[in-house]
Amino acid sequence: MLCIATLGLASCKKETLVQQTAPNRTVVFDVTPNKWVLENGKYYLDLNIPEIDDINFYDEGILIYSATPNYNNYYQLPYGDMDYEAHIGGVSISRTTLPTTPVRIKVVLVAAENVT
């Protein structure tokens, strides 16, 4: 009986193979305070990202991060007074206060397969 149980457990091995056809992509921007535009009481920044195409916009993922001034930490937006809207070809970031130092924005485009 012990041999049969050992053989049964040894033969049940689950393997998960992940074959990623398209890698995730990251785009980093260092934005100076003079690039923000005041409109309707908020500051806006438009970032041109041609990598955000129809497939990325509709089927994959878009993550936006903002770094602290010394780049020790990243915070995923929306965070604090910052928010964003993604569109084909780029992202628009808004905030209620004008930054006084350069801001690093990291945009991560996550590859995914639509299975619906």
Q: Judge whether 4 lies within some domain.
A: no
Q: Is the pLDDT of residue 116 over 70?
A: yes
Report the pLDDT value the prediction gives residue 25, as an integer from 0 to 100: 92
Q: What is the pLDDT of residues 47-100, one digit of tens each?
A: 999 999 999 999 999 999 999 878 889 999 999 999 999 999 999 999 999 999
Residue 7 is assigned to a structural domain of this protein = no
- Give the per-residue pLDDT at 43: 97
Q: Is residue 12 part of a domain?
A: no
Question: Phi/psi class of residue 80: alpha, beta or left (left: φ > 0; alpha: ψ in -120 to 50)?
Answer: left
For the chain, how many structural domains are there in total? 1
Cα gap 43→38, rounded to integer Å: 4
84 located within any domain: yes
In a domain, 5, yes or no: no
Task: Judge whether 17 lies within some domain.
Answer: no
pTM: 0.76
